[in-house]
Structure 1
Amino acid sequence: MRVTGGVAAGAGVTFVLAMTAWMISSDGQQLVGGIPGPALAIGVAGVVAWLTRLGGQLPHLRERRAAVRLGVTAFAIGSTPLTGQSLIVAADGLCFLRGRAKPLGFVPARQVEIAALTTTAAGVGISLSIDGRWFDVPIVLEVGGPAGSAWSVPGLRPGPRLVDTIAMRIQRHAAVYVHRP
């Protein structure tokens, strides 16, 4: 997912810099197809920003294939899909990863007691009760599945689908309570 955002951002910055250099070096005729150069640069920058945001929800093919092959569900956690942190929901418990191979922690299924879910603007907030202690985890998307509202095309209402997907996967491990504001 980082590669998608990096490529889109790099291409956008390169285009905006090229347009800026062209406008500075031109003789005042900054029209491209009848569109003023500055308006074109602003429009392209907006499209690149939108694609970068949308590209964050596109699954990394290797991660998606690995999740399917192993029979697990992977969720991107953190404030954006590009944080590189994941929650893996497997039959034997929950695994938290940073990057592809650095484990942050593993919680056996028998230790997870309760999961409370609520939607937020960026995704889904999940509070897990593990051995009597509460832990909050922000989930922004399912790898290869629905994403939080802030990371999706407006109007598709992905937030409720993401909540339902998380609830369905976690209910094997704990009692699930969903708050729909």
Structure 2
Amino acid sequence: MVRFSKEATVAERADVVRNRAAVLEAAEALFAREDLDRVTLARVAEAAGVGKATVLRRFGDLGGLVEAVLAPRVGALRDALRTGPPPLGPGAQEGEALHAYLDALLDFVLENRTLIRALEHRRPNAYYANPASQFWIGELESRIHAVHPAADARHLAHVVFTSLRADVIDYLRAEEGMSVERLRAGLHALLPPQPPA
């Protein structure tokens, strides 16, 4: 019977943690400088100095790796919504909170567009069905309903969220020459005018 020492187990866990950090760092660097189609698990593994099997075992596929890279950024925005200062966090007027949230979502897409694009076409409905998107849509629905209780907030939340797809944003900027300011104004214009107090 083979016995493993406590020290060997601790060293193995440290290797796992180190390898995971190296893979995430390599993936983030590759996504930042390469076209989406050129980033593969094999290239990430090579850049991280680990075997492809290590990446597959830990993350499953490229989509799982992208979600892991995005996870801390998603968490930071969730924290800002739940406990951050107003108007994005609790305590603002409903209309101000809604528009602050739209700005935060657009900024999130602009900052993470390559990673988001990698998820958008992963499988049918991937853009809407992943847990982060479900949270964003639910929060959007809640904030829309608070300002426009008579509107179909669920439908409107999906319409607005669709306009925030990274491929849509990239197309409008690259092919239509739209500025970020124009995109931001158009996003806010999708919502009905705020009812008088």
What TM-score do the two structures reach when normalised by structure 2?
A: 0.28
What TM-score do the two structures reach when normalised by structure 1?
A: 0.30
Q: Which has the higher strand share?
A: 1
